[in-house]
Chain A
């Protein structure tokens, strides 16, 4: 028994303090203001007069350890060995030395990582795993993101837009990426009801759980070919895939019918307008790997329509709220369809309940 060591668990993450650059440690809570010096570069100025320069660069989020080691080389050479990542997957290099800015940008350019994503730009796309790692994905994540950001790179490396524009992608309605409050959300969707594996269902799943998982009560217990199983009232299925999450015998993945939908006008910041959900713009675009040209075109059109018409600082949703949705559909040329009209809970709150209309 003497050699049995107590197993160490529940010790939590390392304390953040050991990872803070000296300039940050000394000025923690003392920052006075910041300025954007140029695309992707900002300076924070402290009450003490200290300055900290930050260089923000794009990242694909899916990183090899080789690339992380290259990031570390940059940090060691120019940033006393410190670096950080942002909430939208960018990498940031921080230094008190102004003369280090250009060499850092140059090195990042050599690695193929553009600098930008600050202020009135389009920063990196928050996204999910897609076909790289997820069982319920209705589209790929990394591939669509790469294709869209290649298309929009000029807006990442510059600050020429009227305001901020935040794009997010989730490869199914589970929304690991919580995309539902984005200026533009790209959302993978299924469109075919689950095809029940009646032979396996009883072995893999608990029938009451499967029945209870359906928010529209479209699933009922049933005997099928002598198997205890379930049946799906297909006209009540809105493809949320919650049944599949609780039961592997209810797959919805289907290459013929899976694709993406596009949602716009959401925001999380409280600046000016209160936070808003994104609203449906394009109900369905088929998957077209490897570059999803219909999606990249649709996103570019939305970005440029907003950029052309919005007032300074106006986010996508604020702009559309000002001009009204009918005008948006007219300007965008997107066909208004039955699918745009909500028919889930409290749908009536989304109907136009006044005569405030433009013509």
Chain B
């Protein structure tokens, strides 16, 4: 019984080819784990029948936590008893996804003892995903993880595990310390992260520059994207060096500038910084010559999400520029106000972005006590259906005249 893997002719076809194979990974794990053998069997059946074989959800967890464990049960438990339970644990990753081999080996040992031996490095939100274990193993797994100081991540209608790009650790474009902010917010909001009490999920994503390597603007309820206010730092000698080495600065850099704020006369690059929209293109192309300015901070945007329920949204500007420095009070004060009004007024499964669409951005700004500024919009409204809040009664004119 120990050795034989189930016959999986369809999956076997995915062991060939130049890209790394997940089937090989499952088979490696299956040498030790009966769970993975049955996973192979069930997955092969899915490949034959073109349908998944997992039941819908199931509430499991570890004591004291309301999220972070996704219950999963096979709908063919008699045929594949090894995956009758196959729960996922989301483990809060270290910011920036840096590890020591010692920590990773520790995680592997825990997962060898308590689970399938399969992981995702990482889940879409950023967590370490431990894929597949039984209900009775959840507590012992957590106990062992806690000994290594690894805590559980978010799931359900809670704060999801915050994540960030590698920021100042290994990028010259980081306009603030993404990893420090991510760690700070994660620690500050442990209760919200571990106990679902919101209308729906809430995500923070920290990107150090407008290149947005963690797709913050597309999927974070609050997107914190690094930027700068002063002039792009420029080394004209290095610009000329790029030109000498064959870079066509006119066509590749200047012509691609979205705000048409630069020109190149063959010797000097001129940038009209007051028109620069901080898109990063010129800096991306000539990293040795151009760098973000020195007065750095972030644009804070709000409300992005994938389509479910009312359609996909991109985040939109809430604060055009904020200095990002500990203790990050401006972020925390704003977040607390947003959560208050959204928790009170939001509908079940309504993300913050959808909530804003429903109640109106103007009303939302009133509720969180933020003044409207033109940076928040692409353009002013085009329809005349304005909710004016006050009107005059007859006789008001006389009073005004008297006051005047």
Contacts and interface: CB of A to CB of B under 8 A. Distances in A.
Are A and B subunits of one complex? yes
Nearest to A62: B22
B115 to A, nearest CB: 9
B236 interface: no
Contact of A150 (B18, B118, B219, B311): B18
A156 B17 CA distance: 13
A178 B219 contact: yes
A20 B98 contact: yes
B348 interface: yes
Interface stretch (A31-39, A221-229, A326-334): A31-39
A175 B211 contact: no
Contacts of B284: 271
A85 B104 CA distance: 12
B97 A255 contact: no
A244 B54 CA distance: 14
A72 B314 contact: no
A126 B121 CA distance: 11
Contacts of B211: 269-271
A45 to B, nearest CB: 9
Interface in A49-66: 52, 54, 58-66
A86 B97 contact: yes
A113 B93 CA distance: 23
B124 A176 contact: yes
Contact of B258 (A24, A94, A135, A272): A272
Given A64-B28, A86-B97, A149-B19, A258 B287 contact: no
Interface string B225-253: 10000000000000000000000000110
A290 B10 contact: yes
A283 interface: no
A112 interface: yes
Interface string B88-102: 100011111111111
Given A19-B99, A68-B108, A270-B211, A131 B56 contact: no
A239 to B, nearest CB: 11
A270 B210 contact: yes
Interface string A121-136: 0000010111111111
Interface stretch (A96-104, A207-215, A301-309, A351-359): A207-215
A161 B107 CA distance: 38
A66 B99 contact: no
Given A31-B172, A83-B101, A68 B217 contact: no
Contacts of A258: 50-51
B323 interface: no
A33 B288 contact: yes
With a 10 A CB-CB cut-off, give which of A134, A269, A312, A345 has the most chain B CB atoms.
A269
Interface of B: 10-11, 13-14, 16-26, 28-29, 39, 43, 46-47, 49-57, 63-65, 72, 86, 88, 92-105, 107-108, 111-112, 117-126, 131-132, 146, 148-151, 163, 165-166, 168-172, 174, 177, 179, 183, 186-187, 190-191, 194, 210-219, 225, 251-252, 256-258, 277-281, 284-285, 287-288, 291, 306-312, 314, 347-349
Please list the 10 inter-chain residue pairs (A to B) with the smallest Cβ-Cβ separation, ordered nearest first: A150-B17, A248-B56, A175-B306, A72-B101, A270-B210, A178-B219, A65-B108, A255-B50, A13-B92, A149-B19
6 contacts: A13-B93, A34-B287, A66-B117, A130-B52, A146-B21, A173-B306
